[in-house]
Amino acid sequence: MHAIGVDIGGTKIAAGVVDEDGNILAQTRRVTEPDDAGSIDKAIGEIYAELSSSYEVGSIGLAAAGFVSSDRSGVLFAPNLAWRNYPLDERVGALVGDDVRIVVENDANAAGWAEFRFGVGRDVDDMLMLTVGTGLGGALVIGGKLVRGAWGVAAEVGHMRVVPGGHYCGCGHEGCWEQYASGSALVRDAQSALITQPERAARLLELVGGDVDQLTGPDVTQAAQEGDVLAIELLANLGRWIGEGSASVAALIDPELIVIGGGVGAAGDLLLAPVRNAFAEQLSARGYRPEARIELAAMGNDAGIVGAADLSRV
């Protein structure tokens, strides 16, 4: 029996039919309004109707960016979507019928599970996944099992406080790790550099036509890959934050593997080398313990779809 995996983002939904080996057999997308929960429900219903017309579907996994309830039925809180104690399975179930099982999963958990089952984590039992995008998501697999915690909101590592009184976070607090170790942090720091160090930012300014507000993470990566010194420094700073924070998490869970996912992975070793260096420098009792491997994710943008689908079967 096939499953549908649905990766719900801020402005779009990506979905696919996935077989038991993690292969995507068909895909589709929909544009949604983040402030309109009903539009998201409707889009998921349309996706099910489209994909189930060609494939026998037994379950739907919904990967949502937010705090998912422990019974995997709804979203307690989502910082970037209009979900507050939202019964997502109930709303979607009313549109697709009672014959299909619906499971809600945190999006980082879904991506991490895909890497654990079918990607770079297939040979380990203990793994930390970091999804470095607009924010910083996390997934923990310990002893071969996904860690959800007592109330379903474990592994929200992006909201560990690393800088008291630091940058304001969408969760309502200040100084969260994701404010320093995310694509948004990279863009914020790069835009600041364009304003304060224009003489060093010539290539970045050229890429955005002189409009600082148009700068994106891929622009920084492109400039760094071309050898631009400022862009290389910006990625190294991001890598330092990721690595140092990962060492703190390692002190708690001692993973065998740390997987870095998200768009910033396109920077390759320009990001990964600083991550590894910072991790090693901050790792407690280094030299007297085995050290976690740090690798880039292998599943790419399909991880959320594949992971959500697979977890809907469990």
Tens digits of per-residue pLDDT, 183-197?
999 999 999 999 999
Average pLDDT over residues 166-195: 95
Report pLDDT for 224.
98
Instruction: Report which listed range, 5-14, 228-237, 257-266, is most confident.
Output: 228-237
Report pLDDT for 211.
96
Based on its alpha-carbon atoms, the radius of gyration of the chain, rounded to whole angstroms, reads: 20
The pLDDT tens digits for 129-141 are: 999 988 999 999 9
At 172, the pLDDT band (50, 70, 90 cuts) reads confident
Residue 267, pLDDT > 90, answer yes
**Which residue, among 93, 125, 107, has the nearest Cα to 261 in the 3D structure?**
107
At 1, the pLDDT band (50, 70, 90 cuts) reads confident
Residue 142, pLDDT > 90, answer yes
At 238, the pLDDT band (50, 70, 90 cuts) reads very high
Fold of the domain spanning 123-297: Nucleotidyltransferase; domain 5 (3.30.420)
The pLDDT tens digits for 60-97 are: 999 998 899 999 999 998 877 889 999 999 999 999 99
Residue 74 CA to residue 88 CA, distance in Å, equals 5
Residue 126 CA to residue 64 CA, distance in Å, equals 23
* Domain ranges across the chain: 2-112+302-311, 123-297
Average pLDDT over residues 128-157: 95
Residue 117 CA to residue 48 CA, distance in Å, equals 24
Report pLDDT for 82.
83
pTM above 0.85, yes or no: yes
Fold of the domain spanning 2-112+302-311: Nucleotidyltransferase; domain 5 (3.30.420)
What is residue 166's three-state secondary structure? coil
**Which residue, among 199, 154, 152, 161, has the nearest Cα to 179 in the 3D structure?**
161
Which residue, chain included where needed, has tokens 């590592």? Answer: 157
Higher pLDDT, 314 or 310: 310
Q: How many CB atoms lie within 10 A of CB 291?
A: 15
Which residue, chain included where needed, has tokens 């001692």? Answer: 254
Report pLDDT for 134.
86
| Residue percentage of the chain with pLDDT more than 90 | 88
Q: How far is CA 108 from the centre of its chain?
A: 5
Residue 53 CA to residue 150 CA, distance in Å, equals 38
